[in-house]
Amino acid sequence: MKQIFEEINSKGTECKESEKCIGGYARLVHMVKELKEKYKNDHPLYLNAADNFQGTPWYTMFRWNVTKHFLNLLPADVITLGNHEFDHGIDGLVPFIRSINSKIVVGNIDKEGMNFLQAQSSKDKIRGRTIIEKDGIKVGIIGVIIKTVNILHFKSEIFQDLSSTGGNLTFLDEIMTVKRHARLLAKENVNIIIVLSHCGIEIDKEIALKAGPLIDVIVGGHSHTYFYNGTDPNNPPDTPKDTYPVVIQQENGHKVLIVQAGAHAKYVGVIKLEFDSNGEVQSWDGNPIFLGNHVQKDSTIEKELRPWKAAVDAIGNEIIGETNVLIDISQCKMMECNAANFLADVMTESFQNITGHENVRLALMNAGGVRASIEPGSIKYNHIITMLPFGSYLDLIKIPGKTLREAFEHAVDLPNNGPNTILRNLMHVSGFRVEYDMKKPVKNRVQKILVLENNRKSYTELKDEEYYEVVVTSFIYKGGDGYGMFRKDQIEHMVGPIDIDAVLSYIRQKKVISPKLEKRIVLKY
């Protein structure tokens, strides 16, 4: 869900008085209440596919407390956990599990890890699956999180040392997990089974195809995918990626439906299902509802938001500097973007005042670390912590050129689907010029890597055996997004400032910024 408490504009940034505001938790709650009343005789279920932590200054300042408070004002029947629920370790998650008034399901945490979580909260709070009974109709719900959450996570070490009380978490295969829990539900005479997934649409499709004929519907998250049938007359800002629902037919003819409703509290997904006596879906109807300016806001939620907003604004409205241009993240997982260019430049400058590192001129910024755009005009503290919500450190490492070459190949090692290919591992740069030929096979796409020389005027070819000082985020240094090569091959390592502090210092010094595109990375399709 990527919790957004306040309204936003159509670009997903702070909504100004002159704009038509959309989304926000007050609209979401109003719509869910309206739908529950409308379908009260049709056994409604309210499900939440996770990532309720992160995404705004509200979470940065108040952590699980604010998330728990607002989710409990209208509890979902069942929620799962997403990768961002682990952003502050198990010590940041357990209080949420203890206090949330919804059932939590995550089926692919191994037995040791689940026992550990249950011991810290209770068996009634978190388990692999649950059964909801409505007028004698049993509905089984299986939770599942993407098994590579430890790779995606910017603090991956927490999965080996979860908290002050110890314990480990291992995440199991998603498909095998769903199969196992579906069989167990069938033994309890449950023939309607929903998978509540935080795995992303591609893995959801694999689950639908391969997890067997017992599952009926997948309610998904993680990939922030927006589906819709036809044209929404309310003109939402997103383009549908597919029909709603996506229908996957297994080899035996059994159909599994997949629904997902974007992100950032802009939509409420709705699907009405009719089942036969054997638990087979016979018909369906629905679409995501866009929470546009035309949708009312729940007055109780608005009242509850005010004191929290006042506390956020007291800190967050400090003006740090200005930008003459849109600092845009919309293309960062597809191609060069000025937001990541800006951050990579900040990374190099953050070390140049440290004795012995005055010539640091190279940096790598992972596309997934940039989370929000900033509109032209004043830059507030809120903007920075929304753009960089993770509190990642900047690390200076010394590595050989061959490791950089390996990393740049890894950045584009996904299937080539043309210029709109989503490259979730894409690496943005400062001090490099990198050219890719995406028509080439994976691991053979890098065509040229140029490195800025000490004179900061000219570039030279990367040399595999030469060592380079490069600034990376701690997420990347610790192996996030599969970049394990840096920690393995580095011969020197220095921990620098937190990313937010570096950016604040940079903007305060420059006062006005205008980041631009400079063909630092070029992808040829």
**For residue range 276-327, what is the model confidence (pLDDT) as tens digits?**
999 999 999 999 999 999 999 999 999 999 999 998 888 888 999 999 999 9
Predicted confidence at residue 154, as pLDDT, reads 44
Q: Which of 428, 411, 430, 424 is nearest to 368 (CA)?
A: 424
Q: What CA–CA distance (Å, rounded) separates 308 from 300?
A: 14
Segment holding 187, helix H or strand E:
helix 174-187
Other C-beta atoms closer than 10 Å to the C-beta of 331 total 16
Q: Which of 378, 381, 366 is nearest to 329 (CA)?
A: 366
Number of H helices, E strands in the chain: 15, 26
State the CATH architecture for 81-288.
4-Layer Sandwich (3.60)
Contact call for residues 219 and 194 (beta carbons, < 8 A): yes
- Is 414 buried (19+), middle (13-18) or exposed (0-12) by CB count in 10 A? middle
Residue range 89-104, pLDDT digits in tens: 777 888 999 999 999 9
Share above pLDDT 90 across residues of the chain, in percent, rounded to a whole number = 71
Q: What CA–CA distance (Å, rounded) separates 102 from 95?
A: 13
Q: Which of 314, 364, 316 is nearest to 471 (CA)?
A: 364
**Is the Cα dihedral 54, 10, 270, 31 positive or negative?**
positive
Higher pLDDT, 83 or 514: 514
Predicted confidence at residue 152, as pLDDT, reads 58
Q: Per the structure block, which two tokens stand in for 431? A: 């001090």
Is pTM beyond 0.75? Reply is no
CATH topology classification for 318-524: 5'-nucleotidase;  domain 2 (3.90.780)
- With left for phi above 0 and alpha for psi between -120 and 50, is residue 56 left, alpha or beta? beta
pLDDT band at 165 (very low <50, low <70, confident <90, very high): very low
Residue range 376-432, pLDDT digits in tens: 999 999 899 889 988 788 999 999 999 999 999 999 999 998 998 999 999 999 999
Predicted confidence at residue 70, as pLDDT, reads 93
The answer on pLDDT for 248 being more than 90 is yes
Angle at 263 between CA 261 and CA 269, to 5 degrees: 25
Q: Per the structure block, which two tokens stand in for 279? A: 């638990």
Segment holding 313, helix H or strand E:
helix 299-316
- What per-residue string of b and e applies to 204-234 under the rule 16 or more CB within 10 Å gives b? bbebbeebbebbbbbbbbbbbbbbbeeebee
DSSP 32: H
> What would the mean pLDDT of 174-194 be, rounded to a whole number?
97
Q: What CA–CA distance (Å, rounded) separates 464 from 405?
A: 8
> What would the mean pLDDT of 342-358 be, rounded to a whole number?
87
Peptide bond between residue 95 and the one before it cis (omega within 30 degrees of 0): no
Spans of all domains in the chain:
81-288, 318-524
Q: What CA–CA distance (Å, rounded) separates 265 from 5?
A: 8
> What would the mean pLDDT of 328-337 be, rounded to a whole number?
96
Other C-beta atoms closer than 10 Å to the C-beta of 253 total 7
Q: Which residue has the tokens 């090692």?
A: 413
- What per-residue string of b and e applies to 472-493 under the rule 16 or more CB within 10 Å gives b? bbbbbbbbbbbbbbbbebbeee
Backbone angles phi, psi at 377, to 5 degrees: 125, -150
The alpha-helical segments, DSSP class H, found in 457-514 are 474-477, 485-489, 499-510
Segment holding 141, helix H or strand E:
strand 137-145
The answer on pLDDT for 23 being more than 80 is yes
Contact call for residues 82 and 222 (beta carbons, < 8 A): yes
pLDDT band at 87 (very low <50, low <70, confident <90, very high): confident
Residue 479, classed as helix, strand or coil, is: coil
Q: What CA–CA distance (Å, rounded) separates 149 from 481?
A: 10
Residue range 435-488, pLDDT digits in tens: 999 999 999 999 999 999 988 889 999 999 999 999 999 889 988 899 999 999
